[in-house]
Amino acid sequence: MAVRHQPDGVPIIQDDHPMRRDPDLRLLPRHDFATSGEMPRLFSHYEELKRLTQDRVPISFPTWQRGPLDMAMQLRGYEQLVSDMSERPQFVHDLLRFLVEQRMHWWDAYCERFGVTTRHAGIADDWINVPFISPAIFRDFLLPRYLELEEYHEKIWGLHSCGDQVPVQHLMLQLKTLGGFEVNPWTDLEATLRNVPADKFLGVSIKNVDVLLFSDEEIEQQLGRIRRLCTGRSYNVTAQALQRVHADIHDDMRRTQHWIEVARRVLQG
């Protein structure tokens, strides 16, 4: 899929791929580590950053974390892909398997190119969001592919999404190497604590608007609740996906710094 970028660097991924019209895997070429898509641009940026920093700071090459569901959604579109799961399920299985194979092919080339000896990785599928997909969709279409990725990578350290994971957490536990669970703002913390064994790490995320717009009292209430519920558990709290809210970006920066100060007082005090 072609990628263009806004002036501020935000990538816009092609949403009119030929597969939107025709569910035909022959429309998808195999990925080439050196030449496909954004790879030449990534290599160019990587080499330029290395040149500019002169080893004063570590520069790492970005790795393939994106899962097959997000890519299938982008290729086919949400409504078509969900219809495919009912009307042509074998096509969906084949599409997801193909995308996983391309990811493995990419990682093989990456490890060879950079001398990497471990393939541990995370999976990011933003569309794991009930009710946009159901637990049955996760079980039947995604879990087999994730188990393949777990076997390949030898460890899956995290499974990210941008939606409610609670109804599929019991299925996620089949990934035996998954050491931590994400508790994003749409995933209920109390339900997660009931569903996820105590030896699993919890990564609790805070909405950017909460960070940038909450009063001190609201911040303290929110973080105090997290601290109280997670007592005795291994967890962290992350303010992620920070995006501009105020007209002056410096106001956002000041609010973020202030949130960090309040968070340290509440969580470490």
- pLDDT, tens digit, 9 for 90 and up, residues 4-59: 989 878 889 999 999 999 999 999 999 999 999 999 999 999 999 999 999 999 99
Nearest CA to 3 among 41, 29, 58, 50?
Answer: 41
Residues with Cβ within 8 Å of residue 99, at least 6 apart in sequence: 68, 71, 72
Indicate the burial class of 29 (C-beta count within 10 angstroms; 0-12, 13-18, 19 or more).
Answer: exposed
Give residue 83's pLDDT: 97
Give residue 130's pLDDT: 96
Average pLDDT over residues 73-97: 97
Residue pair 66/100 in contact (Cβ under 8 Å)? The answer is: no
Question: How far is the CA of 139 from the CAs of 9, 45, 121, 148, 154, in angstroms?
Answer: 36, 39, 21, 14, 21
Q: Is the pLDDT of residue 146 over 80?
A: yes
Give residue 233's pLDDT: 96
Mean pLDDT of the chain: 95
Q: Is 10 helix (H, G, I), strand (E, B) or coil?
A: coil
Give residue 229's pLDDT: 97
The CATH code of domain 198-269 reads 3.30.110
Average pLDDT over residues 178-203: 96
Give residue 9's pLDDT: 82
